[in-house]
Amino acid sequence: MPNRKFADGEVVMGRWPGSVLYYEVQVTSYDDVSHLYTVKYKDGTELALKENDIRSQSAFRHRKSQSSSSSPSRRSSSRSRSRSPGRPVKGRRRSSSQSREHKDDKKKTVSETSLAPLALKPSENNTRRYNGEPESTERNDTSFVTSEQKLKPDREIARVLEQYSLRSRKEEKKKEEIYSEKKTFETKKVIEKAPSKTKELEFGGRIGTFMLIFFLPATVLYLLLMCKQDDPSLMNFPPPLPALESLWEARAFGVFLLWFFLQALFYLLPIGKVVEGLPLSNGRKLQYRINGFYAFVLTAAAIATLLYFQFELHYLYDHFLQFAVSAAAFSMVLSIYLYIRSLKAPEEELAPGGNSGYFVYDFFTGHELNPRIGSFDLKYFCELRPGLIGWVVINLAMLLAEMKIHNQSMPSLSMILVNSFQLLYVVDALWNEEAVLTTMDITHDGFGFMLAFGDLVWVPFVYSLQAFYLVGHPTAISWPVAAAITILNGIGYYIFRSANSQKNSFRRNPADPKLAYLKSIPTATGKGLLVTGWWGFVRHPNYLGDIIMALAWSLPCGFNHILPYFYVIYFICLLVHREARDEHHCKQKYGLAWERYCQRVPYRIFPYIY
Ligand code: NDP
């Protein structure tokens, strides 16, 4: 018989980790090995608590009556904060007098503040408080959370979460299973450091990823070869493979290397602010220099200088295939290097999604999460620099090639539209570079072949397909059509930008007064989920905007062939798949709260369609 103080089913007061607050909880089980009680809060959150963090309800009733009479003033001061089990308490930054007071009356404060949230009526405060009601009061809960978040920015919440390692009980159970055979776990900390293997394989598992390693380069080759054809109909037989020697040019490879290292040099320049990324599984935060936009400006200056000295940029067009092959070869070598170095990386630095133990799978998805050489972050660098900036340089080369080949004094209207739309997209990404730190690519996916090839080959050589197509297949469009396409791109951009900004601002500071009009629902992790604004419209409004823009980039190429629409078709597939991956991760992260979000916002990307 285990030596335990509280029985299963007993309703007691449980301390919310990281705070001095106690809430009514129900004991659901007890682990006699770890000596932890599993308790359930009224919002459904389950946590494992030590016996010291649990009190009987009678003790509280007694203290409440004592303290309320002895110190009413402090009682009222506690009203200015709104707290709930779903939201750990913000780090306490006090004035010296406050802290003295705090020290003196620490015990009293515990009992007073502990009871306040349960005792207060909504009318007693200008902010709504957690009232322990079940989900049926969600609408009211949301307004409570919105106002409450003003007091608890995500960073602070993350700090408390890190400190106390709050995880849902379900997740804890999974980890326990790993250890259950030997019962080797002694404390919660030991469980946390357990290496987590990737169990659910994506992209078709080992076979799928193996095939993708060949399929992706083959697709690029096919698209570029087709684009060079006079009749690029996809109904035609693929053109014959060019001789191997014609695919490789040492000079093109040299130029590619020069480009890559020039961008690396720009990345290393000590200009631009340094920011912290999201906390890693070990609680550490990596630092990133935000200077992508400066790199772009420096690159633009370098290109302008080259053009001034009559450098023929359309060399890129003439040797496009060789450049693509050079980039592919480089990304393969880089991926091999990344995999080899990942074998020596500590377990805690491996990517949650790329640690299956299967060579091919981990090589493809990326084994190490944030490979760095000193402070040089390889993944972060490749995400936005050589490929993305390279894309607009390629577009410019296509524009110049079009003028030269067709003897035009001006680029075509179609070419101008494609160049301008995509330039806007790239500049926007670089201007908002910090936002990339919260994307799945940085926080979840490792750096392996998928991202290396995607960043260095797919983005610059496939995303520029419309401009490449227009050089060989001039398409005239009228001004009204151009205006309509521009409006479409503007709508897409507006949705894309405002949705991304709304979420990023909310994640960075949920208390941002500019977001006061938005509502969110609480989750057990302490982070909220927006349920109004763009994120209440569909579950991925940013994808919707991105897809609308993708269509606007293809339309200037006319309707003669489907080839220039490859990007929008592929992009819809990519984002539908990405949405499913994200959905899966969010379900794991937020559980019930995510399901509630999905009920409220039923459409994923396209309103009333999908
Ligand atoms: P998102 O920016 O869409 O972020 C998804 C994350 O947002 C979720 O994991 C969750 O993370 C958070 N979230 C989801 N719902 C809510 C909500 N209701 N309230 C608050 N937070 C929520 O991820 P991506 O990295 O996929 O996309 C970033 C941008 O990049 C998009 O605009 C996309 O279109 C674009 N993109 C472009 C590509 C291209 O090749 N051109 C390729 C891929 C993406 P958490 O709760 O942990 O914060």
Res 73: pLDDT: 31
Of 135-144, 162-171, 227-236, the one with minimum mean pLDDT is 135-144
Res 33: pLDDT: 67
CA nearest ligand 1 atom 25, residue: 439
Q: Who has greater pLDDT, 284 or 376?
A: 376
Res 78: pLDDT: 31
Per-residue pLDDT tens over the stretch 163-198: 333 333 344 444 343 333 333 333 333 333 444 788
Asked whether the predicted pLDDT for residue 423 surpasses 90, the reply is yes
Two tokens at 12? 């007691």
Asked whether the predicted pLDDT for residue 452 surpasses 90, the reply is yes
Res 191: pLDDT: 35
Residue 192 CA to ligand 1 center (angstroms) comes to 27
State mean pLDDT over 425-431. 95
Mean pLDDT of the chain: 77
Name residue 79's amino acid: R
**Residue whose CB lies within 8 A of the most ligand 1 atoms, among 586, 597, 603, for a mutation test:** 586
Residue 232 CA to ligand 1 center (angstroms) comes to 35
> For 56-187, where are the alpha helices, taking DSSP H only?
57-70, 72-77, 96-104, 106-119, 138-149, 154-164, 169-180
Residue 460 CA to ligand 1 center (angstroms) comes to 22
| Closest ligand 1 atom to 529 CA | 19
Q: Who has greater pLDDT, 536 or 65?
A: 536
CA nearest ligand 1 atom 10, residue: 586
Residue 516 CA to ligand 1 center (angstroms) comes to 21
- Cα 423 to chain centroid, rounded: 23
Single pTM value for the model: 0.69
Q: How confident is the model at residue 292 (pLDDT cuts 50, 70, 90)?
A: very high
State mean pLDDT over 388-402. 96
Residue 422 CA to ligand 1 center (angstroms) comes to 20
Res 291: pLDDT: 94
Asked whether the predicted pLDDT for residue 16 surpasses 90, the reply is no
Res 440: pLDDT: 82
Q: How far apart are CA 422 and CA 397, in angstroms?
A: 14
State mean pLDDT over 332-354. 92
Res 17: pLDDT: 60
Q: How far apart are CA 223 and CA 570, in angstroms?
A: 12
Asked whether the predicted pLDDT for residue 80 surpasses 60, the reply is no
- Each domain of the chain, given as residue ranges in start order, spans 11-187, 249-473
Res 21: pLDDT: 67
Res 302: pLDDT: 95
**Which residues, judged by CB distance below 6 Å to any ligand atom, belong to the binding site of ligand 1?**
439-440, 496, 500, 503, 506-507, 527, 529-530, 535, 540, 542-543, 546, 578, 582, 585-586, 597
Q: Who has greater pLDDT, 260 or 60?
A: 260
422's enclosing H/E stretch is: helix 413-431
> For 248-319, where are the alpha helices, taking DSSP H only?
250-268, 292-308, 315-318
Residue 378's SS3 state is helix
Residue 12 CA to ligand 1 center (angstroms) comes to 39
| Closest ligand 1 atom to 507 CA | 48
| Closest ligand 1 atom to 543 CA | 34
Residues of the chain with pLDDT > 90: what percent? 44
Residue 499 CA to ligand 1 center (angstroms) comes to 10
| Closest ligand 1 atom to 506 CA | 20
Q: How far apart are CA 458 and CA 498, in angstroms?
A: 26
Asked whether the predicted pLDDT for residue 362 surpasses 90, the reply is yes
State mean pLDDT over 42-62. 72
**Residue whose CB lies within 8 A of the most ligand 1 atoms, among 422, 428, 440, for a mutation test:** 440
Residue 360 CA to ligand 1 center (angstroms) comes to 27
Per-residue pLDDT tens over the stretch 307-316: 999 888 989 9
Residue whose pair of structure tokens reads 């029985």 in the numeric block: 7
Q: Who has greater pLDDT, 430 or 80?
A: 430
Q: How confident is the model at residue 60 (pLDDT cuts 50, 70, 90)?
A: low
**How many other C-beta atoms lie within 10 A of the C-beta of residue 352?**
15
Q: How far apart are CA 16 and CA 87, in angstroms?
A: 9
Q: Who has greater pLDDT, 234 or 158?
A: 234
Q: How far apart are CA 166 and CA 354, in angstroms?
A: 24
Q: How far apart are CA 246 and CA 320, in angstroms?
A: 11
Q: How far apart are CA 478 and CA 489, in angstroms?
A: 16
Total residue length of the chain? 610
Q: Are 579 and 572 a contacting pair, CB within 8 Å?
A: no
Most confident of 125-129, 194-198, 398-402: 398-402
Most confident of 42-51, 242-251, 368-377: 368-377
Res 348: pLDDT: 85
Q: How far apart are CA 532 and CA 336, in angstroms?
A: 45
What is the radius of gyration, based on Cα positions, of the chain?
28
Asked whether the predicted pLDDT for residue 586 surpasses 50, the reply is yes
The second-level CATH assignment, the architecture, of 11-187 is Roll (2.30)
Res 72: pLDDT: 29
Asked whether the predicted pLDDT for residue 126 surpasses 60, the reply is no
Res 156: pLDDT: 41
Residue 267's SS3 state is helix
State mean pLDDT over 490-507. 92
Asked whether the predicted pLDDT for residue 150 surpasses 60, the reply is no
**CB-based contacts of 594, cutoff 8 Å, min separation 6:** 523, 529, 586, 587
Residue 234 CA to ligand 1 center (angstroms) comes to 33
Asked whether the predicted pLDDT for residue 107 surpasses 70, the reply is no
